[in-house]
Structure 1
Amino acid sequence: MTTFQTSNISLETANRLIDRAIGEALKGDFAIVASVVNKDGILIALKKMDHSVTGPVEVSIKKARTAALFGFNSQEFGKIAQPGQPIYSIENTNGGMISFGGGVTLLKDGKVIGALGVAGASVEDDERIALLAAGSGQFS
């Protein structure tokens, strides 16, 4: 059997993170969508809770893609993507980005292996849920 070293997040880990996010959402009576992308921004897993509206599906993916492609959380990305800031309007690149909270990077040995995106609650709750679900964001 051949063993492959990967610098991407596994499907098993992606599903575990999404399940954690859903668990946190249930505590607040939120109906969210949670997604995980790999380091290249490719969707690995997505779950849409019952009673969640459809709009957050794409938003959760874009939050995760933003974090993965740029290597930092979407909330931090938003701070430099505002009018008058260095990368204003960058959200229009790479098929669309999200410059507000809810997308968190996932790291292994200090390198991005993917990202988790949460959408469907308030921006503040999306961010909180994503951070709680990701834990330290460090994976071995």
Structure 2
Amino acid sequence: MKHKPQLTQLETDRMLRVARDEAQSNQWAVSIAIVDDGGHLLAFERLDGCAPIATYIATEKARTSALGRRESGAYESMINGGRHAFLSAPMLQGMLEGGVPVLVDGQVVGAVGVSGVMAAQDAQVARKAISALES
């Protein structure tokens, strides 16, 4: 039987805190979603001033990244590159940059999705959250 690491509440809380700090230090009003490897929500926060739609988008970016085992922006790039069939992919509704998988020992254990500012800034916040696991 295979064994794999899982995100704990302590790690999830740390990632959420680091993401919040990154967004607030840049004065970015974002929503932050953290999911497990099956795309199930573990933690969520919508910062003051963030548009309500970002709640849904951040969660779907995280889910897409976890289930697809890659950054959600990869799908956006594929679609923009002409692979329009991905628009009909089941269960992948957050195919925009800003969802980043959490890797531990080469295995995806979850993902962070961020929405509310420019796509590269969303991804920056998500990557910063994941960096909290390195310390």
Smaller-chain TM-score range? 0.7 to 0.9
Q: 1:33 is matched with which residue? A: 31
Q: What is the alpha-carbon distance in structure 2 between the residues aligned to residue 24 and residue 103 of structure 1? A: 16
The one of 69, 72, 90 aligned to 2:70: 72
TM-score by structure 2 length? 0.86
1:49 alignment partner AA:
L
Q: What is the alpha-carbon distance in structure 2 between the residues aligned to residue 67 and residue 31 of structure 1? A: 21
Please report how far the alpha carbon of residue 77 of structure 1 lies from its aligned counterpart in structure 2 after TM superposition.
2.5
Please report how far the alpha carbon of residue 89 of structure 1 lies from its aligned counterpart in structure 2 after TM superposition.
1.0
Structure 1 unaligned spans of 5+: none
Q: What is the alpha-carbon distance in structure 2 between the residues aligned to residue 85 and residue 137 of structure 1? A: 34
Structure 2 unaligned spans of 5+: none
* Aligned counterparts, 1:1-140, within 5 A: 7-82=5-80, 84-85=82-83, 87-90=85-88, 93-94=90-91, 96-135=92-131
Percent same amino acid among aligned pairs? Answer: 25
TM-score by structure 1 length? 0.83
Query: 4+ residue runs of structure 1 moved beyond 4 angstroms?
Result: 136-139
More helix by share: 2
Residues 105 and 137 in structure 1, CA contact (< 8 A), matched pair in contact too: no
Please report how far the alpha carbon of residue 50 of structure 1 lies from its aligned counterpart in structure 2 after TM superposition.
1.9
Q: Aligned in 2, Cα 1:74/1:121: closer, same or farther, shift over 3 Å? A: same
Residues 105 and 115 in structure 1, CA contact (< 8 A), matched pair in contact too: yes
Q: How many residues align?
A: 133
